[in-house]
Amino acid sequence: MDKTIESKKFAPGSNGGSIRRTIKYENELDKNFAKKIADIAHGEAMYNCIQCGTCSATCPVSHYMDFTPRKIIAMVREGFKDEVLSSSTVWMCASCYSCTVECPKEIKITDVMYALKREAIAGGYYPKHFPTPALATSFFDQVKKNGRSSEGPLLVKVFLKTNPFKMFGNALLGWKLWKTGRMSMKSEKIKDRKGFAKLLNGLDKVKEVAVK
């Protein structure tokens, strides 16, 4: 796919004099994308969206997103896969479920955001040094291995992956937490890690079966 069409700069001269198309043609869209995203529990409701914008209005972080939740739903439905998966939107969603509760068409927008996060991680779209996907993947690895999450080691890992210098800025907070017995560098683990691994392996075997 021609990546240059994503550019919003149109005026000749602003990008070396080349003239670029600012829209996408229908045959350049990913027609299967909407189906894939809707293929989550109750995802079909996405097709009922009336573009009222209640989700964007109720979202506490929509003003930091490059595409608001309303736009994201429209773009998913039309197949703007690359734009959606490389957007900041999904990584700003804090899972507060306001949109899900307020949507008049009962679209589970938070679940749509989760589906997009999974697609973005699986497709390698996510920004490597942005903390939220780093937190999600580090958390996933930690729980997969130990059965529990340990806040201290998890935060250190996320800082190392994204911005190690941030750790110094948080040193005072870390010390205060340690002093009040609220932070530990110990890795918490469940006893039956073998059984836990069996559970996850058992899932891998049946995963090929369709979810629905």
Partner 1 sequence: MKYLYYPGCSLKCTGRAYEESLLAVFKALKIDYTEIEDWNCCGATAYMAVDEVNAFSIAARNLALAEKQFEKEEEIQVIAPCAACYMVLIKTMKYLNESPALKEKTVHALKEAGLNFTGRVKVRHPLDVLINDIGIEAIAKAKKHPLKGIKVASYYGCQTVRPYSTFDDQRDPQTMDNLVKALGAEPVDWPLKTRCCGGSLTGTVAEVGLPLSYILLKEAARHGADVVVTACPLCQFNLECYQTDINKKFNEDINLPVMYFSQLMGLAMDIPQKELGMQRLFVKPEKVLKTVKGGEPAYV
- Give the binding site for partner 1 (CB under 8 A): 40-42, 60-61, 64, 92, 94-98, 100-101, 110, 114-115, 117-118, 121, 130-133, 135-137, 139-140, 143-144, 147-152, 155, 158, 172-173, 176-177, 180-184, 188, 190-192, 195-196, 198-203, 206-207, 209-212
Find the shortest distance in angstroms from Cβ 210 to partner 1.
7
Question: Which of 124/181 has CB closer to partner 1?
Answer: 181
Find the shortest distance in angstroms from Cβ 13 to partner 1.
33
Residue 131: CB atoms within 10 Å: 17
Are 24 and 5 contacting, i.e. CB atoms less than 8 angstroms apart?
yes
Find the shortest distance in angstroms from Cβ 150 to partner 1.
7
Question: Which of 29/131 has CB closer to partner 1?
Answer: 131
Reading the block at residue 5, the tokens are 């069409």
Find the shortest distance in angstroms from Cβ 32 to partner 1.
18
Find the shortest distance in angstroms from Cβ 153 to partner 1.
11
CA 7 – CA 15 distance, rounded (Å): 10
Are 154 and 139 contacting, i.e. CB atoms less than 8 angstroms apart?
yes
Question: Which of 9/176 has CB closer to partner 1?
Answer: 176
- Which whole-number Å values give the CA distances from 170 to 49, 53, 142, 165, in the listed order? 42, 37, 22, 9
Question: Within the chain, where are the H helices?
Answer: 33-38, 54-58, 69-78, 81-85, 89-92, 98-102, 109-122, 131-146, 151-162, 166-169, 171-179, 193-206
Question: Which of 104/202 has CB closer to partner 1?
Answer: 202
Question: Which of 35/148 has CB closer to partner 1?
Answer: 148
